[in-house]
Amino acid sequence: VLANPLRPAILAAAKSGLLERSITKAPVTRRIVDRFVAGDNREDVLDVARRLVGSGRAISIDFLGEDTTDRAQADATVQEYLSLIGDLGALDVAPINGAAPLEVSMKLSALGQALPHDGDRIALDNASTVCAAAEDAGVWVTIDAEDHTTTDSTLAILATVRKDFPWVGAVLQAYLHRTEDDCRELCGQGSRIRLCKGAYREPESVAFQSNSDVDASYLRCLEILMTGDGYPMVASHDPAIVAATGTYSRDATAVEYQMLYGIRDLEQVRLAETGATMRVYVPYGTAWYGYFMRRLAERPSNLTFFLRSLATK
Ligand code: FDA
């Protein structure tokens, strides 16, 4: 089965500044965005965090932003993460199956990786600053995966950060041909790996293109992680993947299910109620355009809903 035929066009639009300006200004967009994004500011996201944690779910909060080409913006992102971690540390929530219930997720391209000079070093320094604060607050950190041109740099920065903070996790994307090897490399003791299908537009030379090939790759990667010595974080809304995860005899302290805020909320609650660790990825902030477009691209019904709302205005 081929992926959503509109996916490449929507993902191309996700990179268009012109479309970004018109779509983010359309008043109706806001209501639909609110389904996937927990508000513009920290106060908003902390309300959502309290509600999710109160229902027995763990959370990972992402301050939206990516592809920063401005040093001051990267520094401001670090400051926002430090404030967020301070606020999360004050929530005082009990661990879930031994896991930290509170986590932040961050994109290295928001921390300076895409800067023209010294991007890798700046992103590394900034990531380390965030990780040091998180360690003090008892909050976990996972580094998001972006498009394939960043994978080598991101995994190199992860390896360096993990020398000081071995509990820091990373995301691997099953649609990339390389990911089975990366899973083998990163399935050792203490290694926290969030496995997702992958959300960017990638060429055939590096990524599987059809849904069935991506799903098959996901299951092969899952097998490596679930039979390894690390800590797999199964990030998917796909019932087949959730079911496959359940077939491995790992106890609840050694694996997590993860889904996105606003997607399959009832299934999230159901999984948490079985005693499993269920973590919800919760984005907030005003830079939601790229994230929102990736959500539209992965599900035609989300797009139809969005277009219909625009048409009725
Ligand atoms: P997919 O979209 O193929 O859907 C499979 C099935 O799930 C559907 O057929 C349906 O049954 C069910 N389903 C999906 N959406 C539904 C809905 N709204 N309602 C009901 N059922 C629904 N990507 C990336 O490139 N880098 C990253 O760092 C991350 N990080 C990340 C963290 C977490 C916690 C998650 C859950 C996901 C990511 N992703 C990501 C996104 C990921 O790569 C992928 O794009 C989405 O998760 C969609 O893929 P699924 O595995 O959910 O399956």
Residues 145-175: tens digit of each pLDDT: 999 999 999 999 999 999 999 999 999 999 9
| 38-287 belongs to CATH 3.40.50.800 | no
Tell me the mean pLDDT in the region 234-256.
96
Taking only the tens place, the pLDDT of each residue in 170-207 is 999 999 999 999 999 999 999 999 999 999 999 999 99
Residue 288: Cβ within 10 Å count: 22
Q: Which atom of ligand 1 is nearest to the CA of 299?
A: 2
Query: How close is the Cα of 122 to the center of ligand 1, in Å?
Result: 30
Place of tokens 């040091």: 132
Nearest CA to ligand 1 atom 9: 238
pLDDT of residue 111 exceeding 90: yes
194 catalytic per annotation: yes
Instruction: Look up tokens 């740099």; give the residue.
Output: 153
What mean pLDDT is reported for the chain? 93
Local confidence band at 311 (pLDDT 50, 70, 90 cut-offs): low
Any ligand 1 atom below 6 A from CB of 201:
no
pLDDT at position 163: 98
Q: How confident is the model at residue 25 (pLDDT cuts 50, 70, 90)?
A: confident
Question: Where does the pLDDT of residue 7 fall: very low under 50, low under 70, confident under 90, or very high at 90 and above?
Answer: confident
Dihedral Cα 13, 18, 24, 29, nearest 10 deg: -50
ipTM above 0.90, yes or no: yes
Q: Which atom of ligand 1 is nearest to the CA of 107?
A: 28
- For the stretch 195-199, contacts whose Cβ atoms lie closer than 8 Å and that sit 24 or more positions apart, written own/partner, are 195/171, 195/221, 195/222, 195/225, 195/232, 195/233, 195/234, 195/235, 195/236, 196/145, 196/171, 196/172, 196/235, 196/236, 197/173, 197/236, 197/238, 198/145, 198/173, 198/174, 199/173, 199/294, 199/297, 199/298
Whether the pLDDT of residue 301 is over 80: the answer is: no
Q: Mean pLDDT throughout 117-129?
A: 97
* Residue 164: predicted pLDDT: 98
pTM: 0.95
Ligand 1 centroid–CA 121 distance in Å is 31
Q: With a 6 A CB cut-off, is 295 part of the ligand 1 pocket?
A: no
**Sequence-distant (≥ 6) Cβ neighbours of residue 22 within 8 angstroms:** none
In this prediction, residues 20-38 reach a mean pLDDT of 82
Yes or no: say if 262 and 51 are a contact pair by the CB < 8 Å rule. Answer: no
Looking at residue 165, its pLDDT comes to 98
229 is an active site residue: no
Q: Ligand 1: distance of its center to the CA of 192 in Å?
A: 19
